[in-house]
Amino acid sequence: MTEAIKLKAKDYKSEVKPIWCPGCGHFSVLNAITKAMAGLGIDKDNTVLVSGIGCSSRLPAYVDSYGFHGVHGRGLAIAQGLKVARPELTVLALGGDGDGFSIGGNHFIHACRRNMDLTYVLMDNEVYGMTKGQASPTTAADWTHGKLTPRGSGIRPLPPASLALTAGATFIARGFTGDPNGLARILVEAIQHPGFAFVQALSPCPTFRPEQMEWKRHVRGFEPEETGDPLEAARRLQADDGMSTGIIYRTDYPAFRPGGAPAGAGSADTLHAIESELRI
């Protein structure tokens, strides 16, 4: 019998060279994903990376597995359809904060509550990079940028992890591209989680948000790291400035299967309690 050859992270990279700007955080997300795939010994032939549109959404082309570079904001819709049709596949959906929370926001909410067994990586740089620096749903209200938002958008940013918690995601984590090993560790756990795993990767855009290069001075680990209590997770997120990293919340809840309510599916009471705790 021949022994399976253990692949290294570099073996999961395709021959297509990324065209991201020098210093873009998305390079580190690519490294973390390929490290996680190698760590788990993931079978390339049974793995699909699905994305929308944006600089971040180019990532599937750079991984040597199956991929689908989809339509703007529709990565999660495609990924969930794929998982229904081929439940045996490992499915990762990826994209930016513009892709996932503007045009794709509705899909995100329903993906959280549907709890299909897949991983969603939000590469969050708080800007539309590909289209030259418009404010996104995670951009601070007072961020000014040239002629596009000379006085800021004036709109409060969405909190990704809190939104995921309220909508019912069963695994929620935040990583930082300045710590690709930490991000890879989170991704290993996310991919193994039997439900919808949401990973927010803080991924600076040096071209349109050069000030984000300072994030490395502000990120820190969540203390204590993880809870399975949604109200405790809500309290911690409420007190957090968005710069704490690690696994925030993980719970067991039956993953979606087509054809009816899963055994153990509960009521909306918990989600309502989280919502009032977070006041969003």
Ligand X SMILES: Cc1ncc(C[n+]2csc(CCOP(=O)(O)OP(=O)(O)O)c2C)c(N)n1
Choice from 36, 53, 169, 183 touching ligand X (CB under 6 A)? 53
Out of ligand SF4, ligand X, none, what residue 207 binds, judged by CB under 5 to 8 A for its kind, is ligand SF4
Q: Which does 24 bind (CB under 5 to 8 A by kind): ligand X, ligand SF4, none?
A: ligand SF4
* CA 272-277-280 angle, 5° bins: 80
Residues binding ligand X: what is the number (CB under 6 A)?
Answer: 19
Contact of residue 202 among ligand SF4, ligand X, none (CB under 5-8 Å per partner type):
none
Q: Give the span between the Cα atoms of 36 and 42, in whole angstroms.
A: 8
- Of 103 and 271, nearer to ligand X (C-beta) is 103
> Would you count residue 55 as binding ligand X (CB under 6 A)?
yes
Shortest distance, CB of residue 122 to ligand X, whole angstroms? 9
Q: Which does 201 bind (CB under 5 to 8 A by kind): ligand X, ligand SF4, none?
A: none
Query: In what side-by-side order are the strands of the sheet with 47-51?
Result: 66-69, 47-51, 90-96, 119-124, 197-202, 171-176, 244-250, 220-221
Cα–Cα dist 195/193, whole Å: 6
Q: How far is the CB of 224 from ligand SF4 (least distance, A)?
A: 32
The residue (of 58 and 114) whose beta carbon lies closer to ligand SF4 is 58
Q: Are strands 47-51 and 66-69 parallel, antiparallel or unpaired?
A: parallel
Contact positions toward ligand SF4, by CB under 6 A?
A: 20-21, 24, 26, 55, 125, 129-130, 205-208
Find which of ligand X, ligand SF4, none residue 136 binds, CB within 5 to 8 Å per kind.
ligand X
Q: Residue with CB nearest ligand SF4?
A: 129
Residue with smaller CB distance to ligand X, 122 or 278:
122
Tell me which stretch binds ligand X (CB under 6 A): 60-68, 124-132, 145-153, 233-241. 124-132
Interacting span for ligand X (CB under 6 A) from 75-83, 123-131, 214-222, 240-248:
123-131
Minimal distance, residue 266 CB to ligand SF4, in Å = 39
Q: Is 129 in the site for ligand X (CB under 6 A)?
A: yes
Q: Which residues bind ligand X (CB under 6 A)?
A: 53-56, 72, 95-99, 123, 125, 127-131, 136, 205
